[in-house]
């Protein structure tokens, strides 16, 4: 009786407002405590805010297979679009590598060609592609730079290098462009094909002061209705920067041509654009 009285007296001496504040405090402690905990769980298992930087001390390479690497590779990339599947690789090549490739190509540039559809004439294709270019394979490059680049593309795509055509090195000067087109050869337009281009890798060899973006006019299925307006530079635009890479897939995984892989090169407004393109086929050496 006495003690109960004492206890009761103790609580009541704290006062009702103090008990109320204590309750609120305990509530918020629980509330924030649990959200803190769930945030921790989230960073552990999701990709946000950014994946943890790989560190060899944290991730030991696994024992490799006979054809594998015994080291970890980091190739930073950004998914630019899922429709089409387009990936950007900042700093894929060094400035010196880019400059050497340009030097190699410069002496052998010719006006670029286009594949003819049925019914195309030299007159009708005039102005479609106004760049100059040349083809060079990694074997032909005695400096070994194209060999390195090709190996890196192989790693980034996991498509063996034998599937790649020779590098097509192109130069676009002011006003030069490539109207929107497909890199694939639709059998309905070009007749039966022994193999198909499944992906395209563009390595930008120069910065362009203005213009020269690679554009995907129907990225995410948009502006399909404006298809007649084919000379406009619109949709997803990728700004060329020396050493950066752009990979996009031109076929769906099931082998059908991806209509969203339609792309072009916006006219160069200021500066010069140099790019090395590698088209990757779904079959080895059948073109």
Binding site for ligand NAG (CB under 6 A): 252, 254, 256
Between 182 and 252, name the residue whose CB sits nearer to ligand NAG.
252
For ligand NAG, give the closer residue by CB, 135 or 252.
Answer: 252
* Smallest separation (angstroms) from ligand NAG to the CB of 246: 21
In the complex, least distance from residue 210 CB atom to ligand NAG, rounded to whole angstroms: 36
CB of 254 to ligand NAG, least distance (A): 4
113 or 221: CB nearest ligand NAG: 221
CA angle 118, 122, 125 (to 5 degrees): 75
Q: How far is CA 186 from CA 153, 193, 246, 250, 254, in A?
A: 25, 8, 23, 11, 15
C-beta of 85 vs 273, nearer to ligand NAG: 85
Smaller CB separation from ligand NAG, 259 or 271: 259
Shortest distance, CB of residue 253 to ligand NAG, whole angstroms? 7
Which residue lies nearer to ligand NAG by CB, 131 or 196? 196
- What's the CA gap between 164 and 199, in Å, rounded? 9
Shortest gap between Cβ of 269 and ligand NAG (angstroms)?
A: 36
Residue 279 CB, nearest approach to ligand NAG (Å): 21
Query: With respect to ligand NAG, which residue has the nearer C-beta, 143 or 256?
Result: 256
Q: Which residues of 41-54 are buried (b: 16+ CB within 10 A; e: fewer)?
A: eeeeeeeeeeeeee
Minimal distance, residue 255 CB to ligand NAG, in Å: 7
We find the least distance from the C-beta atom of residue 153 to ligand NAG, in angstroms, to be: 24
For β-strands 210-211 and 110-111, DSSP reports them as unpaired
Q: For ligand NAG, give the closer residue by CB, 77 or 252.
A: 252
CA–CA separation, 197 and 182 (whole Å): 10
Give the residue closest to ligand NAG by C-beta: 254
230 phi and psi angles, rounded to 5 deg: -75, -10
């Amino acid at each position: 009786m006495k003690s109960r009285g004492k206890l009761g007296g103790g609580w009541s001496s704290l006062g009702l407002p103090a008990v109320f504040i204590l309750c609120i405090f305990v509530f918020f402690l629980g509330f924030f405590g649990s959200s803190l905990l769930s945030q921790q769980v989230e960073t552990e298992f999701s990709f946000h805010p950014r994946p943890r930087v790989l560190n060899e001390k944290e991730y030991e390479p696994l024992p490799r297979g006979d054809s594998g690497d015994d080291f970890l590779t980091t190739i930073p990339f950004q998914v630019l679009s899922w429709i089409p599947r387009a990936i950007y690789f900042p700093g894929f090549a060094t400035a010196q590598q880019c400059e050497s490739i340009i030097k190699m190509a410069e002496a052998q540039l010719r006006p670029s060609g286009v594949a003819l559809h049925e019914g195309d004439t030299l007159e009708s294709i005039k102005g479609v592609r106004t760049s100059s270019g040349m083809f060079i394979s990694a074997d032909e490059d005695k400096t070994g730079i194209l060999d390195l680049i090709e190996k890196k593309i192989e790693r980034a795509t996991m498509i063996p290098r034998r599937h790649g055509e020779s590098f097509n090195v192109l130069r676009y000067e002011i006003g030069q462009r490539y109207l929107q087109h497909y890199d694939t050869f639709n059998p309905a337009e070009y007749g039966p094909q022994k193999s198909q281009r499944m992906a395209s890798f563009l390595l930008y060899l120069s910065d362009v002061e203005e213009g020269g973006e690679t554009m995907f006019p129907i990225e995410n299925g948009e502006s399909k209705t404006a298809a007649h307006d084919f000379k406009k530079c619109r949709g997803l635009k990728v700004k060329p920067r020396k050493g950066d890479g752009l990979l996009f897939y031109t076929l769906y995984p099931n082998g059908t041509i991806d209509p969203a892989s339609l792309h072009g090169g916006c006219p160069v407004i200021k500066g010069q654009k140099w790019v090395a393109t590698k088209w990757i086929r779904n079959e080895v050496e059948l073109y």
